[in-house]
Every structure is written in structure tokens, then in C-alpha cells.
Chains A and B, each alone.
Chain A
Amino acid sequence: MTSMVIDKGAPTRAVKYRSVSRDRTWALRWSYFFLVLFAIFSLVPPFYMLITSLKGSTEISAATNPWWVFHPTLENYVKLLTSNQFLIFFRNSALVSILVVTITMLISVPAAFALARMRFWGSATLATGVFLTYLIPDSLLFLPLFKMFAVFDNFTGIQLINRWYALVIVYPTLTVPFCTWIMIGYFASIPKELDEAAVIDGASWFQTLTRIFIPVALPGLIAATIFAFTVSWAQFLYPLVFTTSTDQLVLPVGIITTLIKGDVYNWGQIMTGALLGAAPPLIIYAFLMDYYIAGLTAGATKG
């Protein structure tokens, strides 16, 4: 049946116009049918989060249809949003993400500009190296980093373990390589005549970067910013390893470690927390979908 789906404008041997258009109609119907199926598959977990977040604890443990809310209530939201602890998680997450995005941009934009336009000794190797670094996963580095931070503490007395700002130090290892990589791509796609024109107009290389390259590559810059933000916001392994006190936790770890007490799951609040935790990236996505997707496809992201 899928045959018809891809079969547009197929040469039909019989000269029956109606059968061609009927084929197309069916192809469309099948496409929509499967798309609906996939959309349901995609949206069930977030939908179920929302449903559960609106339920009281009695309804959650009742044997009623779990897919529906019979007595909607906002008590979970009220509880979480007035809980000091949850607000601290949120603040930590926001602080970490914003700092990481700033640091990432400050490091990767000048580096990308240098690598895309100012050839110097070893610059090609460095560009490849940046890309390779991006392929090194967090799960390979968390143990040595943990030990390194402990040793660093011993020598300098500066405590990094169990401090949220340790995350500001390690997250850029996840964001900078990719952001640099896609900014190199965006910068390289700017025609060379444009910076030659700028040079003739009297711009220094710094002015060329700030007044020509950054504005022209703004879509790429936005895509990179979105990427850096979502990665920092979603990161789970590093905060799980590096932070333990409740006042140092970021959202994902905070929700999991404080709302799950032993074997007691407070599902109403967990789902509410998860939904609130998912909200910032989802909101950004809703408003900047095209940039988000451009960033994804620009560098062949992690998947």
C-alpha cells in the first residue's frame, strides 16, 4: 500500500485520468493515517504527563481510566511552584544554562571565525579536532573529570564537587565543539567578496566579525544558542555525578532525587515537575522551530 504513497506522477499505462487521481487520493489518505499513528506514538508520553499532572493523589491511585482526568486540579502545580526546593532547582538550571550559553558563544564564535577565515598553522587540523571532540560522549569523561575535580580541590582548596558552578565548567565541553562546528559552516558559507568589500570599506577584522559576520550569520548564531541552551538544560549525567546537596541540584536531577523517596513515587508531582522541566525547551522550540531544525540539520547532531 505504501507503494502508492511514494507513487506520485507515476506513468500509468492505461490512459485513465481518474485512476491516477484516485491513486493520489489514496496515497494521501494512507500518509495521513500513518502520520496520525506516529503522532500518537510521539505525543503519548507528554500527553500522559499533562493528564497526570492535573490529577489529585487519590485519582492517581484509583482504578479509573488512567487516560482521562475526572477531577482536574492544579494542586500539584501549586505545591511545586510554592516549594522552595523546586524553585531552587529551577533557578540553578536557569543560571547554569544561561552562563553556559554565554560562555559557549564567547568561545565558539571567535574560534569559528578564525577557523573559517583566518588560516593559520594547524587550523585545518584544529577544525577536524573540534568535530572529533564533539563525538566524545559525556559517559566516557565523567569519571576522570570527577577525579580531576577532587584532586583540584586537594591542591587548591577550591571545591568544585557538589557545587552547581562545576556544571558551568563542564557543560561547555558538550556545547562548544558543536557550536563551533556549525558556526564554521555558517561563516564559511558567507561569500569571501563580502569580507573583501568590508576590508576595502575600511573595516578591521574585528569590525568585520561584529558588523558583518555576526549579523549575516545570525540564523546560525540563534541555532547554536538554542542548541547550547537545550543541551545544558537537559544534561543529566554530569549533575547526577557532580552535585548531591539539594540546594545545588538542577532540575532533571532534582526532580528525580527529591520527588522519588525510596520506593514511594509521588507521580502527580513527578509528572508536573517533568512537564515544567520540559517547558523551557518546548517553548523555545514552539517559537523558534525553524532555527531549531536548521541547527539540527546543519551539523548532523547527536541522535
Chain B
Amino acid sequence: MADVSLRKVIKRYEDVEAVRGIDLDIADHEFVVLVGPSGCGKSTTLRMIAGLEDITGGDIMIGGDLVNDVPPKDRDIAMVFQNYALYPHMTVAENMSFGLRLKHYPKAEIRSRVDEAARMLDIAELIDRKPKQLSGGQRQRVAMGRAIVRNPKVFLFDEPLSNLDAKLRVQMRIEIKKVHQKVRTTTVYVTHDQVEAMTLADRVVVMNKGRIEQIGTPNDLYHHPATRFVAGFIGSPAMNFIPCRLEDSGGGLNIRLTDRIAFPLPPARAARYQGVTRTDRLLLGLRPEHIAELKAHPEPGIEPFEAVLDVTEPMGMETLVYFTLEGAQICGRVSPNAGARAGEPLRLAVDLNNIHLLNEVTGAVI
């Protein structure tokens, strides 16, 4: 078991810079998820940790050792691939033990390790099957088993669940978390799915265009995003962004969305935004759950307004409503009993205690 450190790691292909200087410290036993849209450099970063890509610049350290020029097999890592990469001509047991056999471990030790991993993953009865005879979820387990058996310093997962259907994905997600709680191996996990990232990670690393946007715990990222990218990427449905401006009104501050619509900010927020230049072009970041139906006795900071709904999406425990504001499509979450109907106006309320204010030009959260 070991910690992993990346220092100013750069990866350049002929003319594109895929990873543009990454600094990251992963503690022992930690489960870190790299998340971002495709092409953000997350997979390249993982593959550099694995040693499958050489690094153009910077240093990678595993367990305190510099591994820049160490071949993958000597880095003491194990990797789970998106398409499982099980050897099709080997049985489950042979797949899991291949690495150990190459290292000439004693037979008895190999057996006991494979049996233990198989029991942990609940695939003991499949041990003599070929990968072709397994379902997607079972293959995924075997791929994890292959990693566990090696008892490496670091687990690397490269989008391991994206080939599974939605239901199985949820199940395997829990499985992965269970395994990690049991073996406690340092884990780096790459995914493009922010739900996966949120549910699995101790810490999430959000990447975009080869750079790290923000590192933090799932709750941190959700409630205190640092940039517009993170704010928009984390959370589903995504955060609404509405162009706005601040203006003084009496002793307090107003946030003006359109000529007709402006909301007074609660005192705590107003104090925080006091220093913002009034003429700056700003974005109001508002999560859908903070646009709800108007309740009978609204708490302070909750302001009513009315919107004509374009579309409603009943989800069962809630209904998503979409309406247009100044050309932008806005999503809100209302109770299924709110009587939301497409084409009809609905009384809604904005929770101004939970807004984010962003600089439209820099994308930074204020």
C-alpha cells in the first residue's frame, strides 16, 4: 500500500498537449476518482500512472519511489480496463493468476490468493469458466479479482463500469466500494460519469482540457464548486446559469435577471457579494432543487416568481419543470402535487440562500 504523487505531469503527443501539468497527492488507502468529459486527459493521466504511457514532463511517485522510467510490471500496480481485457483463452482462475504465475509464485500461494479473491467477489463457482461464458457483471468481477490477487500498491480503474447497463452499474459500484473498504488499497478511478465519481470517491478530481479544475470531497464539489465548469459538470440535472447583474437597493443588494425580474439577496449573501463591481457581467448559478413550487409559508430568502412551463418530466418522487428565461432554458424541481402542466404558468420560488454567483468572463465562482 502506498501513496501516489504527481508533480507537474505533462503529456504531449506530437502536436497536442493532452495533460498540461498536473499536481496531485493521493494518500495511502484513499479512493480518488478522476472525472471529466472525454478528452480531458483523465485516462492519459491514469495510463501514465500505470506506465502504459511515458510522461513528457514531471514526476510520478508511487510509495515514495520515482517511477518515471519504471516499466509497468515493476510499479506494483493493478489495472481494471473498460472492456475488462480478460484473456479469452484462459479460465477465470487462470486469468486471475496469470500475473502471479509469470512471477513464479508457489502454486499453493496462488491457489489460496485466487480462492480468497473469488470468495470476496462471489465468483467462486465460476472459477473454471472461460470469459465468454460469463455475463458482463461477472467479467467485471473477474477483472477486479485479477487486480486483487496481485495485492498491489495501487489499483487503477479505467472507466470500468461504462460497458454495463444502468442497473448493473449501480450494483457494481456498490461492489467496488465494498471491496475497497475491505482491502483498503490506494485506488485511482477514472470515469466520465459524475454520479459514479460522487458515490465512489473519497476525493474527486475534476479535470478539463488537460488541467485539474478542482479537487475535493464529493460534497465540497457539489456545494462549493470553484469554477463554472465544475458547477456545471457536477450534479444532475445540471446547474442553471442565468445572466444577471447586481444592483444596490436601499441598504441591501438586488440581483437583477431581467428588466422585470429581480430578487433581493438575503443579508448573509449580500454581505458576501458587497465587493463585486455592480457593472460586471455575472452568472447566477442555481441548482434545479433550488427552484421549487411556492410554499404557503416561505422561509426567509425564498422569493416567488411565475413562469410558463415548456416541458414537464414527472420522475415519480419529483417533477422536473423546464421554462425559458431570457432565452436560457431553466430547470426546476417541484413536488409531483404542484400541478405542473406544460404550457401553463406555475408559481415557483427561488432559494436565494443557496445561489452561486460566477464571473461570466473568467468563469470563477465568487
B79 contacts partner chain A, Cβ-Cβ < 8 Å: yes
Complex-state Cα separation, A197 to B51, whole angstroms? 11
**A196 proximal to B (CB < 8 A):** yes
Q: How far is the CB of A248 from chain B (nearest CB, A)?
A: 42
Are B73 and A191 closer than 8 Å at their CB atoms? no
Within 8 A of B (CB), among A151-210: 191, 193-194, 196-203, 207
Q: Please determine whether B73 and A193 come into contact, CB atoms closer than 8 angstroms.
A: no
The listed residue (B79, B82, B86) touching A200 by CB distance below 8 A is: B79
B85, CB-defined interface residue at 8 Å: yes
B86: chain A residues within 8 A (beta carbon): 197
Distance of A207 Cα from B104 Cα, bound (Å): 14
Using a CB-CB cutoff of 8 Å, which residues 33-82 of chain B contact chain A? 50-52, 71-73, 77-79, 81-82
Cα-based distance from A202 to B149 in the complex (angstroms): 14
Output the nearest chain B residue to A201 by Cβ-Cβ distance.
Answer: B99
Question: Taking the complex as formed, is A216 at the interface, i.e. its CB lies under 8 A from any CB of chain B?
Answer: yes
Check A196–B102 contact: CB distance below 8 A.
no
Enumerate chain B residues within 8 angstroms of A202, measured Cβ to Cβ: 73, 99, 102-103
Query: Would A193 and B102 count as touching, CB distance under 8 A?
Result: no
In whole angstroms, how far apart are the Cα atoms of A200 and B74 in the complex? Answer: 8
Which chain B residue shows the least CB distance to A195? B85
Nearest CB on A from B341, distance (A):
42
Would you call A215 and B52 a contact (CB within 8 A)? no
Pick from B71, B85, B89, B146: contact of A196, CB below 8 A.
B85
Known: A196-B52, A215-B89, A216-B89. A203 touches B81 (CB 8 A): no
Bound CA–CA A216/B146 (angstroms): 18
- Minimal beta-carbon separation of B285 from chain A (angstroms): 39
Q: Are B72 and A191 in contact (CB under 8 A)?
A: no
The answer to whether the Cβ of B222 comes within 8 Å of any Cβ in the partner chain is no
Contacts of A218 in B (CB 8 A): 89
Known interface pairs A200-B50, A200-B72, A201-B98; A193-B81 also in contact (CB < 8 Å) = yes
B83 in contact (CB, < 8 A): yes
B204: min CB distance to chain A, Å: 25
Q: Which residues of B contact A194 (CB under 8 A)?
A: 85, 87
With A191-B85, A193-B83, A197-B85 as known contacts, state yes or no: A203 contacts B102, CB within 8 Å. Answer: yes
B72 — which chain A residues lie within 8 A by C-beta?
196, 199-200
Within the complex, what minimum Cβ distance (angstroms) separates B148 from chain A?
A: 13
A211 to B98, CA, bound (A): 10
Selected contact of B85 from candidates A193, A207, A211, CB within 8 Å: A193
Q: B79 contacts which chain A residues (CB < 8 A)?
A: 196-197, 200
B contact residues around A276 at 8 Å (CB): none
Q: What residues on A are CB-neighbors of B102 within 8 Å?
A: 201-203, 207
Q: Interface centre among B51, B52, B78, B103, by most A CB within 10 Å?
A: B52
Name the residue on B nearest A212 (C-beta).
Answer: B87
B257 → A minimal CB distance (Å): 49
Closest to A193 in B: B85
Nearest Cβ on chain B to A194's Cβ, whole angstroms: 5
**Does B88 count as interface, using CB distance less than 8 angstroms?**
yes
Residues of chain B within 8 A of A207, CB atoms compared: 102
B83 CB contact (under 8 Å) in A191, A211, A212: A191
Q: Range of interface residues on chain A?
A: 10 to 19
Interface of A is mostly: helix
A199 contact set on B, CB distance < 8 A: 52, 71-73
By a CB distance below 8 angstroms, the chain B residues around A212 are 87
| Distance between A203 CB and nearest chain B CB, rounded to angstroms | 6
| B301 CB to nearest chain A CB (Å) | 51
A interface footprint on B87-114 (CB within 8 Å = 1, 0 otherwise): 1110000000011001100000000000
Residues on A with beta carbons closer than 8 Å to the beta carbon of B51:
200
By a CB distance below 8 angstroms, the chain A residues around B82 are 193
- Interface members, chain B 121-169 (any A CB < 8 Å): 146, 150
C-alpha spacing A215/B90, complex, angstroms: 9
- Smallest beta-carbon distance B322→chain A, Å: 40
What are the residues of chain A within 8 A of B146 when measuring CB–CB? 197, 201
Chain A residues with Cβ under 8 A from B99's Cβ?
200-202
* CB <8 Å contact, A200 and B89: no
B71 closest partner in A (C-beta): A199
Give the CA-CA distance A220 to B78 in the complex, in Å: 30
Question: Cα distance A216–B94 when bound, in Å?
Answer: 14
Q: How far is the CB of A111 from chain B (nearest CB, A)?
A: 22
Decide: A200 and B83 in contact? CB cutoff 8 A: no
Q: Which residues of A contact B85 (CB under 8 A)?
A: 191, 193-194, 196-197
- Chain B residue numbers with a CB within 8 Å of A197 are 79, 81, 85-87, 146
> Separation in Å of the A207 CB from the closest CB of chain B?
7
A68 vs B102: C-alpha distance in the bound complex, in angstroms?
A: 64
* Bound CA span A303–B108, Å: 55
Q: How far, in whole Å, are A212 and B50 apart by their CA atoms in the complex? A: 20
| A193-B81, A193-B82 as given contacts; A200 in contact with B87, CB under 8 Å | no
Hey, which chain A residues are within 8 Å of B88, CB to CB? 216
Bound form: Cα–Cα A264–B128 in Å: 64
Q: A198-B98, A203-B73 are in contact. List 6 more A-B contacts (CB 8 A).
A: A191-B85, A193-B83, A196-B72, A198-B87, A200-B72, A201-B146
Residues in A lying within 8 Å of B, measured CB to CB: 191, 193-194, 196-203, 207, 211-212, 215-216, 218
Question: What are 24 contact pairs spanning A and B, CB under 8 A?
Answer: A191-B83, A191-B85, A193-B81, A193-B83, A193-B85, A194-B85, A194-B87, A196-B72, A196-B85, A197-B81, A197-B85, A197-B87, A197-B146, A200-B52, A200-B78, A200-B99, A201-B98, A201-B99, A202-B99, A212-B87, A215-B89, A216-B87, A216-B88, A218-B89
